[in-house]
Amino acid sequence: MPDSAMNNRKSLSRRTLLRGAGVAFALPLLDAMVPAGTAIAATAAAPSRLRRIGYIYTPMGFNPKEWMPAGDDLNELPFTLQPLENVKEQVAVVSGLELKNAYPGSHATSNSAFLSAATAKRTESSDYFLGTTVDQIAAKKIGQQTQLPSLELAMDLLNNAGQCDNGYACVYQNNLSWSSPTTPLPAEAHPRIVFESLFGEGGSTDDRRAALQRRASLLDSVTEEMKRFKKQLGAGDQNKVDDYFQSIREVERRIQRAEASVQDNPLPDLDRPVGVPTAYADHARLMFDLQLLAFQGDITRVVSFQLAREASTRTYPEIGVTEPHHPISHHGNNPDKLKKLAKINQFHVSLFAEFLEKMAATNEGNGSLLDHSLYLYGSGMGDPDAHDHTDLPILVAGGAAGNMRGGMHKQYDKGTPMANLHLTLLNKVGIEMDSFADSNGTSDELFEPVTL
């Protein structure tokens, strides 16, 4: 396109949607959405800044001997972190952090303090009280211009009620995200419900089953509009749209295959809703792919995801661990249990690593989706045998657009508040705060100084 034509063209709105019958699809960032004649347009680049933040929670601590790098770099990854090899230059391992307000040590407070750094009120009733979590602070600032201010996801379909852990109400283990000290936000574990919240109509379970019978794919209802829309775009943007919609279609196909498998299963399985893959890894990958699509389409900029619930008795036969996770975590320094705990830790990290690789491979402007995002991954428990909340297993990933230093192991003094890291990450996505919870500083060492 000649320069004069480029300067005269009218840019598309970032909020452009393709609409079908009961469906509205957001679009990835396109060159045509960048104002003509700007410096950004000249490089076909997205704003070189951090746009999104995500939080991944894993329960019941870790085996530190198989997690902690030996030095200050990630040249040789320990066993648990080896799946990160392909993306380690955009990952920082952080050690020495503590959730002081999670004591006395428990599963409930490990989960509840992870994003709040707050003390949970000890109660078995509905008078629970915690604190606003960092993801919801972010949602109130950077989530108001998107379809969903935030997205809360989980892997466990059963949310227990009443008392779950030493006098603490189950709400503390069920919910990572709290929009206020008295308002926990339920997380969704059903891929179909998440998919439809992103791309289509909701409704009851019966409504969704009926909708599945009426249509082969949500995308079919926007096919004609998409063809017309693409005529406005250049070749590069046409390819981006095709790739994005192909990814959406593939996710939906996987959900439909899971639904068909469940429906065709002759065994009674009344507790498992339609559309949840039987294999844990398949379910987790679907939930990660839905996050990627939600970010790529700018449907949300804030995500929290509970990879497993505290005190979970889930087994992992696909990696040779057939005993429940919770009893294994009470290892008593038994070498066999510690080995199995490390395998579970590595399995969880491997799923996160796959997701990071997909984000890194998804172009956005002058970088990747991963460049313009920050993810915090970790647990609110350190040594699960002691139920302590110090020297937590923490990873920070992405953030190249914010000058994050990847490929490093940052070792803080033991007892450094986890809130320091939370405060820093909020600041890096444009939420300027002087303090958060029990913070006493920041973790700016994870980022290169910005040269003006």
Q: What is the pLDDT of residues 115-129, one digit of tens each?
A: 999 999 999 888 999
Distances from the Cα of 326 to the Cα of 63, 107, 344, 388, 444, angstroms: 13, 10, 11, 15, 35
- Whole-angstrom distance, CA of residue 419 vs CA of residue 134: 9
Q: What is the pLDDT of residues 297-313, one digit of tens each?
A: 888 999 999 999 999 99
Per-residue confidence at 393, pLDDT binned at 50, 70, 90?
very high
3-state secondary structure labels for all residues of 337-351: HHHHHHHHHHHHHHH
pLDDT the model gives residue 217: 58
pLDDT the model gives residue 2: 42
Q: What is the pLDDT of residues 172-196, one digit of tens each?
A: 999 999 999 999 999 999 988 888 8
pLDDT the model gives residue 270: 35
Per-residue confidence at 341, pLDDT binned at 50, 70, 90?
very high
- List of E strands, 340-445: 363-364, 367-368, 373-378, 394-398, 408-417
Per-residue confidence at 249, pLDDT binned at 50, 70, 90?
confident
For 139, the 3-state DSSP assignment is helix
pLDDT the model gives residue 366: 85
pLDDT the model gives residue 15: 59
Tokens of 437: 């919870």
pTM for the full predicted model: 0.82
pLDDT the model gives residue 105: 82
Q: What is the pLDDT of residues 398-417, one digit of tens each?
A: 999 999 999 999 999 999 99
pLDDT at residue 40 greater than cutoff 50: no
| Average pLDDT value for residue range 294-299 | 90
Domains of the chain plus CATH, in order, are 1-42+191-275 (no CATH), 46-189+303-446 (3.40.720)
Q: Which single residue is written with the structure tokens 């007892």?
A: 415
| Average pLDDT value for residue range 34-55 | 60
Q: Cis ω on the peptide bond leading into residue 104 (within 30° of 0)? A: yes
For 434, the 3-state DSSP assignment is coil
| Average pLDDT value for residue range 214-233 | 69
Question: How many helices (DSSP H) and strands (DSSP E) are in the chain?
Answer: 13, 15
Per-residue confidence at 24, pLDDT binned at 50, 70, 90?
low
Phi-psi region of 150 (alpha: psi -120 to 50; beta: other; left: phi over 0): beta
Q: What is the pLDDT of residues 418-451, one digit of tens each?
A: 999 999 999 999 999 999 999 999 999 999 985 5
pLDDT the model gives residue 244: 75
Per-residue confidence at 51, pLDDT binned at 50, 70, 90?
confident
Q: Which residue did the predictor score with more confidence, 70 or 200?
A: 70
Least confident of 82-91, 242-251, 287-296, 337-346: 242-251
Per-residue confidence at 254, pLDDT binned at 50, 70, 90?
confident
Report the DSSP beta bridge partners of residue 154.
306
